């Protein structure tokens, strides 16, 4: 009977430490592979924008155009931003572009050219009242008219294009009101119009 019991019992395999280590390595590699796939393919977040800005104003003119176009924005409190005063209230001129000036960088002895002509202004909070956005032909290199595209985006809670159009500044010192609009307490925009209002003269008196 003892012999039969030994014959019917399950045979236990000897412990192999090398096999165990290899198995753990395979587990670790699999885990790292899964993490890599997740980082290479992040979950899509369409329509989610950096919440630091409530409205974004983009002023652009043709690439490599040598002329200097400026953005002026006035808020409901009468605060005015331009290249001379790039921040006032909750409005910030994040990028001032001067045409061909400062469009080249020397990196390790190699000249890199940036042909983009674009100014970016952000409104970083909701202040009810009227905003005025003007463009101004500050300086010229070729004395030619410049087509200028103005875009206003409402960022939160989702991206919404409030205004997009191209205006032509005919000559040096030409100033145009691109858009005026009123912001309500809930952030909604109403009363969009283009009634001219000079902001350059106001900035000149301020300075």
For the chain, give every domain's residue range: 55-206
User: How many degrees, rounded to 5, is the angle at CA 185 between CA 176 and CA 202?
Assistant: 30
- Specify whether the CB–CB gap between 124 and 88 falls below 8 A: no
**Which tens digit of pLDDT belongs to each residue from 59-112?**
999 988 999 999 999 999 999 999 999 999 999 999 887 655 555 555 566 655
The model's pTM is 0.70
Q: What is the CATH code for 55-206?
A: 2.60.60.30
- Specify whether the CB–CB gap between 170 and 179 falls below 8 A: no
The token duo for 163 is 């205004």
Low-confidence stretches of the chain (pLDDT < 70) are: 1-24, 27-28, 30-51, 98-115, 207
């Amino acid at each position: 009977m003892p012999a039969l019991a030994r014959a019917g019992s399950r045979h236990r395999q000897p412990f192999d430490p090398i096999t165990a280590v290899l198995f753990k390595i395979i587990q670790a590699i699999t885990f790292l592979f899964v993490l890599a796939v997740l980082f290479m393919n992040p979950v899509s977040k369409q329509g989610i924008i950096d919440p630091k800005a409530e409205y974004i104003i983009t002023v652009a003119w043709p690439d490599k155009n040598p002329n200097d176009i400026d953005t002026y924005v006035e808020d409901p409190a009468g605060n005015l931003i331009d290249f001379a005063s790039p921040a006032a209230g909750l409005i910030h001129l994040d990028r001032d572009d001067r045409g061909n000036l400062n469009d080249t960088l020397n990196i390790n002895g190699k000249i890199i050219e940036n042909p983009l002509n674009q100014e970016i202004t952000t409104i970083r909070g909701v202040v009810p009242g009227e905003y005025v956005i003007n463009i101004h032909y500050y300086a010229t290199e070729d004395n030619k008219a410049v087509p200028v595209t103005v875009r206003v985006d409402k960022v939160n809670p989702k991206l919404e294009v409030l205004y997009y159009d191209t205006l032509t500044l005919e000559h040096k010192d030409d100033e145009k009101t691109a858009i005026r609009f009123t912001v309500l307490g809930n952030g909604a925009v109403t009363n969009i119009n283009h009634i001219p209002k000079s902001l350059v003269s106001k900035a000149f008196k301020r300075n």
